[in-house]
Amino acid sequence: MSAKPENESKDAPDLGRAGQERLEATIAPPQLGSDFIVDPTVSKSFPIPGTEIVAAFNYGMSLWGRTAKLLCRLPTGERVNYFLKVTALGEVGKAMTEGEFESLKEMHATSPIFVPKPFAWGRYSKSEPETHFLLAEFRNVGEQPPDPIKFTARLAELHRISRSPTGKFGFHTTTCHAFLTQITDCWEESWSRLFQRQLLHMVTLDQERNGMWEEFKAVCDLTLEKVVPRLLEPLQSEGRSIKPCLIHGDVWDENTATDMDTGEPFVFDAGSMYAHNEYEIGNWRAPRHRLSNKSYIRNYKRNFSVSEPEEEWDARNLLYSLRYDLATFIHYPGSNLRQRYGIEGFGAKHLS
């Protein structure tokens, strides 16, 4: 076993792969909480001028901000609800909020049943620290994650019917995975090249956050230089091709739900780009998720055929999972995640 990095705490809890000690049997649905104070800027951002806020309550939770349900009255007297997300993280929060708005906007235009409609984003008028908000369609959160058959059908449909505006991989702006920026504000003909840039970015952020670990860096360097081109270049060579698909970018249990009013699955809290569709489900490999249940991957494959070379699907899935695992290491510094799943989880299995 490799030596533990010096800055990794010996007292850090033995966390599961989501930074939590165990998965509860079910995810409790979000509840209405105390009154929520709404900044005047939000009131000016409703899609229908003259909309009044009747009441506002804390609703559910966000790891990096606060969320609310706004009960509103239109000028016609009709009642309508809105979802509000507020992030007080300065420039980081701005990137998160704008990226999520643009992601939801693109996804909703492609699959309105599967994605709530975003209406506006902006900055609070009076706030210290700098605070940003996202205003969107409200949907009642039910079962999380949704039924695997319905959910994977909708996700595969989003991937299948989406069309990159340039025919390339990338996105028109920077999006985020939680508070981490992604390399998305670019367009690449080569998926291998974009993923390599994305992975290098996460490796760099991990080193900045968790410190240098020579053995792990060696594995990452080999992965970037050898494994990425070996596994991803064949997707676009010898007559093969893959379509740039619009992806959510962070599909895990609590970014998915069943709409209690319609029974339809939906997703939220996105950090999108146009990517290889299989990259989306790399996040499901880790046992930290309920979506890791094999029924989700099995049903997804029934709706979207595996890319050629088909026999390398599992190796690609392992490679894609590394990108999500790196983000988890960064989100939970000081835990044992990096040691348990860094070299053992990828390098020993694929680079030995």
pLDDT category of residue 194 using cuts at 50, 70 and 90: very high
- Please name the amino acid found at residue 229: P
Retrieve residue 1's tokens: 């076993």
Q: Report, as an integer, the average pLDDT of 175-188.
A: 97
Of the candidates 180, 116, 194, 156, the residue with the CA atom closest to the CA atom of residue 277: 156
For residues 334 and 329, the model is more confident at: 329
In terms of DSSP bridges, do strands 79-87 and 66-73 run parallel, antiparallel, or are they unpaired? antiparallel
> Residue 341's pLDDT band (boundaries 50, 70, 90)?
low
Whole-number Å distance between alpha carbons of 154 and 107: 12
Quick one: which of 181, 153, 296 has its CA closest to 249?
Answer: 181
The residue written with tokens 């409790």 in the block is: 28
Asked if the model's pLDDT at residue 14 lies above 50, the reply is no
Instruction: Indicate the length of the chain as a whole number.
Output: 352
Please give the pLDDT value at position 4. 33
pLDDT digits (tens, 9 = 90+) for 31-79: 899 999 999 999 999 999 999 999 999 999 888 899 999 999 999 999 9
- CA gap 163, 244 in Å, rounded: 7
Closest Cα to residue 40, out of 125, 120, 98? 125
Confidence of residue 26 (pLDDT cuts 50, 70, 90): confident
Mean pLDDT of 267-292: 94
Q: pTM for this one?
A: 0.90
Q: Which of 346, 341, 333, 316 is nearest to 8 (CA)?
A: 333
Question: Does 241 score more than 70 pLDDT?
Answer: yes
Give me the residues paired with residue 320 across strands.
Answer: none
Residue 98: CB partners within 8 Å, gap ≥ 6? 121, 132, 173, 174
CA atoms of 102 and 118, how far apart (whole Å):
9
- The answer to whether 131 touches 84, Cβ cutoff 8 Å, is no
- 178 C-beta neighbours (distance < 10 Å), count: 15
Separation CA 189–CA 242 (nearest Å): 11
User: What pLDDT was estimated at residue 63?
Assistant: 84
pLDDT at 189 over 60: yes
If pLDDT is split at 50, 70 and 90, which confidence band does 17 have? very low
268-279 pLDDT, tens digit per residue, is: 999 999 999 999
Q: 162-166, 293-297, 324-328, 331-335: which range is least confident on average?
A: 331-335
Q: Of 7, 10, 71, 67, which Cα lies nearest the Cα of 211?
A: 7
**For residue 199, what are its two tokens?**
């992975």
Residues 6+ apart with CB under 8 A from 200: 224
Q: Starting at the edge strand that comes first in sequence, how are the strands of the sheet with 52-59 ordered?
A: 32-35, 52-59, 66-73, 79-87, 132-137, 118-123
Whether 151 has a pLDDT exceeding 60, the answer reads yes
pLDDT at 43: 94
Kindly report the average pLDDT of the chain as a whole number. 89
Q: Which value, in Å, is the radius of gyration of the alpha carbons in the chain?
A: 21
Q: For 105-120, how does the pLDDT look when each residue is reduced to its tens digit (9 = 90+)?
A: 999 999 999 999 999 9
